[in-house]
Amino acid sequence: MGTYKVRVATGDFLLASTFSSISVTLVGTHEESDKQLLDNCGKDFNPGKVEEFKLKSRRWLGDIVLVRLHKEPYAFYPTDNWYCSYVEVVSPHGQSYRFPCYQWIEGYCTLELREGKGQMVFDDADQPMLLQQREEELKQRRKCYEWKEYSPGLPHCLAVDNIIELDGNSMYSVTKNTNLLLRSTNTQVRLRLKGFLSCTNSWAKLEDISKVFCFSKSPITEYVQEHWREDTFFGYQFLNGVHPVTIRKCTKLPENFPVTSAMVAPFLGEGTTLTDELEKGNIFIADYKILEDITANTINNYQQYIAAPICLLYVQPSGELVPVAIQLSQHPGPDCPIFLPSDSEWDWLLAKTWVRNAELLVHEAVSHLLLTHLINEAFTLATLRQLPTCHPIFKLLLPHTRYVLHVNVLARSLLLRRGGIIDKAMGSGLVGITELMAKGMSGMTYTSLCFPDDIQERGVDDIPNYYYRDDGLKIWSAIESFVSGIVQHYYHSDAHVLADSELQAWVDEIFRKGFLGNKASGIPASLQSVSELIKYVTMWIYCCSARHAFLNNGQFDFGAWMPNFPSSMRNPPPQAKGATSLESYLDTIPDISTTGRTIYIFWVICCEPGDSRALGTYPDEHFTEEEPKQLITAFQEHLAQISQEIQERNKSLPIPYRYLDPQEIENSTSI
């Protein structure tokens, strides 16, 4: 007979405790114990507490490989949920075993916990009981997390229509939910009281627009308001604004963009030509062909308009990027002039504003919604459905799935629905944004999702003052180094990757459900080597953390001054020069109510409503072995060094680029 010590940790937050009856069964390699009640004197399983219980066993159990937690009714208490952090078992001989849990146990059920060591399916090949446990766990998860088609041509999503249908492990915490609700309500009340959500008139004066965001001005919003007309700031935003992924090096002008050397000669300086600058690699292009034929919205009973512009940019000897030519259609001709910096003030400003509107439409639909939120949901679902808790890749990725399902279900029920904010504030509306995402999906590539490959493919590896690129490469490298250490700790050869049937099923499901089986995208349908696995996992962690951070967190900074990032345009693109004035400009950009709604949503989603975890923050100890723990510590130290370098550089910049500071990056796409 021996006595086992069982320590049970309850989560340290509101409503984590339970009044249910909790029993335990210890399963060893030799025997399993009887089911025994965990009951000390007084109230057990209190928030933030680790409580110890003693269990006597009449037989030797062997090494403890499973713990069964039984949550059952107690007396007259109603059904509740309990957040268990972990269970630790100490054998009569002093051997300690840790069983990570870190999840809500809802209602009455039995939950089996695996010992914390990372185990692939082939590691359990000679233990039928553990193989069965893996299969049963995944079977239950697949019932809980089912797929459905969101819209033809887009990644499949969770088969849930409302957040109340989510399980507790997918939902926002009470803190996050409350803060988000309060921020949303307070902002909406302010805007309504000032009449900014009900007035459908055009703005009478440009200066009046600042009244909409007077409750939250910052040095960056004020800088944008002061400098938004300047060509240098217009060019700066292609590098370090909220959507720094558009431009690419231009070595030959497109046939449908007939810019001549004579047109742009005054803006290139003396002693050079357009041909010379193309050869030197100083000419860049932003082409919004993807917007061609996208259905335009109707807002406040007025037809909106969408253009598909092309913008040519030049890197000056000073290193500043400036626009030198803009065409507002993909079809040149007499009614589609090429606008130049030498045109009238309002002609040139309106042309740049059309480009900024195109930037917003592509940013929101493709780069932000599709390539972070929807793709990350597909990764999250496949991870939950195909990888058991004991799988090392599951342990690695679980922190990066936090709140992904909640925020996406919330977005579909509030934003991406008929009559939602997208329909009331964006020139594309729900129909157009869905078309745009489908176009983006069909043209998406694996290269575009892998940061270093994308930088090289766009030819922007040597453009000066590209802080987004510099910081992004550092973050990618840090993630890659961390992932390499974890993967190589468990997968000692390419054969191990090929033999991991759960891993291969995971990749296959992501390819089929997330990327719709599009072989032309270059997305892997299977993984053949350790190096392929490292790149694939690095890509996802980067996309759900850093990629979402730089696309999301600056939206209010650069969009609060609406003319810099207009969500809609109320008149068609000009077909001739000389017809634009201040009055016609104000009649083209969004009206007062559309401005108010856009700034409302920017403010709500850019201000993290509490309960966030910065990149590399892993308070839940899913890894119990020493080497993965050391790799996590090294990763955190690497990120801290990058953060220090970025903050030091930013001290000398007129606009600090902080969106890829690790302290500003959240582990997951949660807002």
Sheet holding 21-28, edge to edge: 36-37, 21-28, 64-72, 109-114
In this structure, what are the phi and psi dihedrals at residue 84, rounded to the nearest 5 degrees? Answer: -100, 125
Tokens standing for residue 91:
């054998």
Segments in 250-335 forming alpha helices (H): 261-268, 274-280
Strand, coil or helix: 65: strand
- What residue type is 202 in one-letter code? S
Name the residue among 660, 608, 614, 605 with its Cα closest to residue 635.
Answer: 614
Going by DSSP bridges, is the β-strand pair 310-315/283-287 parallel, antiparallel, or unpaired?
Answer: antiparallel
Contact 435, 442 (CB under 8 A): no
Strand, coil or helix: 616: coil
**Which pLDDT score, from 0 to 100, does residue 608 have?**
65
d(CA 494, CA 653): 46
**Per-residue CA distances from 156 to 149, 447, 566 (Å):** 5, 21, 30
Considering just the CA atoms, what is the radius of gyration of the chain in Å? 28
**Which pLDDT score, from 0 to 100, does residue 55 have?**
94
Q: State which H helix or E strand residue 404 sits in.
A: helix 404-414
364-380 residues labelled b (16+ CB within 10 A) or e (exposed): bbbbbbbbbbbbbbbbb
Question: Distance between alpha carbon 126 and the CA centroid of its chain, in Å?
Answer: 40
CA angle 359, 363, 366 (to 5 degrees): 130
3-state helix, strand, coil split of the chain in percent (to 5) is 45, 15, 40
Name the residue among 88, 10, 3 with its Cα closest to residue 54.
Answer: 3
* Side-chain half-sphere exposure of 508, counting CA atoms within 13 A: 10
Contact 229, 351 (CB under 8 A): no
d(CA 408, CA 425): 19
Going through 107-183 in order, the beta strands assigned E by DSSP cover 109-114, 147-148, 157-158
Mutual angle of helices 375-386 and 128-144, in 10-degree steps: 140
Q: How many residues does the chain have?
A: 671
pTM assigned to the model: 0.97
Quickly tell me which residue has 């932003």 as its tokens.
286
**Which residues partner with 248 through β-bridges?**
285
**Which pLDDT score, from 0 to 100, does residue 609 have?**
66
Segments in 555-650 forming alpha helices (H): 555-559, 582-586, 592-606, 626-650
d(CA 410, CA 319): 43
d(CA 451, CA 240): 15
d(CA 351, CA 617): 44
534-546 pLDDT per residue, tens = 999 999 999 999 9
Name the residue among 136, 159, 139 with its Cα closest to residue 147.
Answer: 159
**Which residues partner with 24 through β-bridges?**
36, 69
Tokens standing for residue 256:
């449908």
Low-confidence ranges of the chain (pLDDT < 50): none
